[in-house]
Amino acid sequence: MVDKVFDRSNALYVKTVPRKGRGVFANLCFKVGDVIDRAPTWGFDEATAQLLDRTGVLEYYFVRRDQPKGNALTGYVVFGLSSLMNHSSNPNSQRIWTDEESGAWVSIVAIKDIEVDEEVTHRYINMSAYTHIIDFID
């Protein structure tokens, strides 16, 4: 028996956003502090980052501002819809990282109220790592 269930299967949907590509949208209202999505991650080191940076995976992995001391990991692939969330300089959500026995997890938490059909966005902190051909649009 599972003691904790996180089911947001109907809370979000993905659609194409002009000039941005795919984006994640709310299928229900979220209030400040609500957990929108929670997903496991795969962490990798600098050598692997150099390989991933030569592929399209660069656009879908994350770096942590709150990297735990002694952690040699460079970035994280997030398995969940949050990996498709677009950047905004005025985001309505933020990433919260937790380190658990099963590995690192990321939760997307609302920092503003989000209405149905509103795009869920967060701030990318590694924008300088992207190639110059990517034009970030708010």
6 within domain boundaries: no
DSSP-assigned letters across all residues of 60-93: GEE--TTPPTT----EEEE-SGGGGPEE-SS-SE
Q: What is the pLDDT of residue 33?
A: 96
> DSSP string covering 54-67, please?
TSGGGGGEE--TTP
For residues 14 and 27, what is the distance between their CA atoms, to the nearest angstrom?
10
Please report where in the chains the tokens 């994280």 appear, as a residue: 76
CATH of the domain at 110: 2.170.270.10
pTM, 2 dp: 0.79
Report the chain (138 residues): mean pLDDT per 10 consecutive residues. 59 89 93 94 89 79 77 84 88 93 92 97 64 53
- What pLDDT does residue 52 have? 85
Let me know if residue 82 belongs to a domain.
Answer: yes
Q: Are 41 and 104 in contact (CB under 8 A)?
A: yes
**The domain containing residue 76 runs over which residues?**
12-129
Q: Which two tokens stand for residue 123?
A: 């701030």
In this structure, is residue 134 part of a structural domain? no
Structure tokens at 44: 């990798």
**How many Å apart are CA 106 and CA 49, to the nearest integer?**
19
How many domains in the chain? 1
Residue 1 has a pLDDT of 44
